[in-house]
Amino acid sequence: MMNILVVNCGSSSIKYQFIEAETNTRLAKGLVERIGMSGAVLTNTRHDDDTIKLTGEILDHGMAIEYVLAVLLSKNHGVIKDKSEIHAVGHRVVHGAEDFAGSVLITDAVLQSLRDNIELAPLHNPHNIRGIVACRQHLPEVPQVGVFDTAFHQSMEPGAFLYGIPYVFYKKYKIRRYGFHGTSHFFVSNRMAEILGKSIQDLRIITCHLGNGCSMAAVKYGQSIDTSMGFTPLEGLLMGTRSGDLDPQLILYIMGKEGLSLAEATTLLNKHSGLMGISGVSSDMREIEEEADKGHDRSKIAFNMFCYRVTKYIGGYTAAMGGVDAIVFTGGIGENSTKVREAVCGQLAFMGVNFDAALNNSGPKERLITSEGSPTVVGIVPTNEELVIALDTMAIVNGQVPPSMRNMKKNHVLDPVE
Ligand code: ADP
């Protein structure tokens, strides 16, 4: 049996799961919060629901990993007796740029490439790197694998990934569309194929990952051919606090009018926009729905804008793939908001979506919400990025092709400009 520690490092938090990969058994999961701040907290939940909360000074990611290992090894709350029972560590890494079209064993050279790409993901990659360094330090004998949010979308072709700006910036600064949430889009599209009992290679699937961050992907015969996030996770759908698509000229205009610095403009678009910016009350879809129900106009507008963009992307991706066989909803909003799904799918009858309100309203977490025989199927699939990371990690350690790369046809990269 291979036990994999799956690690997802944020700026001040680490989410982790300890998974027995062959059987997909989660032995423990947890979260370290407020790293580097006063009153850091580690919460660990074991497979039998035994939960322990530790508070203390956790100064950095290295210390946080030490705490995680101590809990996993703890006599009363742990799941292993010795560190050697951790057979590999799988890390979620946000940005792999064009260097990584799939999961990799982390070597010194890989770590260096990740450092080279920090500029592309300044908010994420440094923390991912800290997590890797910490695990190497505390588990020096244990192989580590990186699984990238961008990797699944490396199959996009230049027509989908380039921006309409001078080509030289693609080469000079690596400016192109990368897309994110790739692990989730990969997982839910493949799971949908399984649910339908068909090969992913025969299906055109649109995946909607709607959480605090939101993105959609057009997955044609198993390959991501387009996705809504771009150079950064700001592009595309309306999100909790991010604007999504806009006319780039407007930000220059606002910067001029308000005298904003680059940092202020970045904060405006990433932290004060989206559902929050429109509604003025919340970035949280549950609260937006509650406020809209109470008659709060700007929450109604925010809700409608959110759903309108999802609908518009479904239309665009259907055309891009020459049709659509299945649409998948996932993420906190996609999995839980009956209203968002209804607002989007209720108007797709023209493209063969026989939406079933009763199925939409209740049932098992994973289910179809179109009626039997619907030409285009719509379903809810809870995402499981940790499982993908665990299975990829196990495959790489065993010298096999990781599952997330088995269907990948091509990593499209363009030659240098002459
Ligand atoms: P993250 O992207 O940070 O992982 P999640 O995937 O957990 O976030 O999604 C969080 C979003 O899901 C929030 O906007 C939250 O309001 C929304 N959400 C969770 N449950 C519901 C629900 N029952 N109805 C509507 N929205 C929900």
CA of 213 from ligand 1 middle (Å) equals 9
Q: Is the CB of 333 under 6 A from ligand 1?
A: yes
Pocket-testing residue among 208, 210, 282, 336, ligand 1, by greatest number of atoms within 8 A of Cβ: 336
pLDDT at residue 415, as a whole number? 65
Evaluate whether 213 touches 240 at the Cβ level (below 8 Å).
Answer: yes
Residue whose pair of structure tokens reads 């405006």 in the numeric block: 268
Using a 10 angstrom Cβ sphere, with 0-12 exposed, 13-18 middle and 19 or more buried, the burial of residue 176 is buried
Nearest CA to ligand 1 atom 12: 332
DSSP string, 249-291: HHHHHHHHHHT--HHHHHHHHHHS-HHHHHHSS-S-HHHHHHH
- R_g of the chain, CA atoms, integer Å: 22
Question: pLDDT tens across 223-253, in order?
Answer: 999 999 999 999 999 999 999 999 999 999 9
Nearest CA to ligand 1 atom 7: 332
Locus of tokens 């020459």 = 322
Residue identifier of the C-alpha nearest atom 21 of ligand 1 = 336
pLDDT at 123: 80
Kindly state the tokens that stand for 62: 């290295």
Q: Is the Cβ–Cβ distance between 209 and 334 less than 8 Å?
A: yes
Q: What angle do CA 366, 30, 406 make, to 5 degrees?
A: 55
- The model's confidence at residue 414, banded by pLDDT at 50, 70 and 90, is confident
User: Among 49, 82, 149, 226, which one carries the catalytic annotation?
Assistant: 149
What does the pLDDT look like over 16-26, one tens digit per residue?
Answer: 999 999 999 99
Tell me what pLDDT residue 122 has.
83
Pocket of ligand 1 contains residue 211 by CB under 6 Å: yes
Instruction: Give the whole-angstrom CA distance, residue 213 versus residue 10.
Output: 14
Residue 139: the pLDDT is 96
pLDDT, the chain, mean? 95
| Distance (Å) from CA 229 to ligand 1 centroid | 18
Given this model, what pLDDT does residue 338 score? 98
Q: Which pLDDT does position 418 carry in this prediction? A: 41
Per-residue pLDDT at 417 exceeds 60: no
The string of pLDDT tens digits covering residues 26-36 is 999 999 999 99
Question: What is the per-residue pLDDT across 280-331, written as a single tens digit (0 to 9) for each?
Answer: 999 999 999 999 999 999 999 999 999 999 999 999 999 999 999 999 999 9
Query: Within 10 A of 395 (CB to CB), how many other CB atoms are there?
Result: 19
Annotation says 149 is catalytic:
yes
Task: Confirm or reject: Cβ of 285 under 6 Å from ligand 1.
Answer: yes
Look at residue 409 in the predicted model and tell me its pLDDT.
78
212 lines ligand 1 (CB under 6 A): yes
Q: Quick: pLDDT tens for 177-189.
A: 999 999 999 999 9
At 242, the amino acid letter reads R
What are the tens digits of pLDDT across the range 98-109? 999 999 999 999
Full-prediction pTM beyond 0.85? yes
With beta carbons less than 8 A apart as the criterion, state whether 153 and 224 touch: yes
Contact 24, 407 (CB under 8 A): no
Quote the crossing angle between the two packed helices 338-345 and 297-321, to the nearest 10°: 50
Report the alpha-carbon distance of residue 128 to residue 61 in Å, rounded.
10
CB distance 312 to ligand 1 below 6 Å:
no
Q: Render pLDDT for 361-410 as a digit per residue (tens, 0 to 9).
A: 999 999 999 999 999 999 999 999 999 999 999 999 999 999 999 887 77
Domains of the chain: 1-178+399-418 (3.30.420.40), 198-380 (3.30.420.40)
CA distance 62 to 74: 18
Q: How far is the CA of 110 from the centre of ligand 1 (A)?
A: 34
Spatial distance between the Cα atoms of 127 and 14, rounded to a whole number of angstroms: 9
Over pLDDT 70: what percentage of the chain? 99
- Which region among 115-124, 167-176, 220-229 has the lowest average model confidence (pLDDT)? 115-124
pLDDT 10s digits, 60-76: 999 999 999 999 999 99
* Atom in ligand 1 nearest the alpha carbon of residue 275: 14
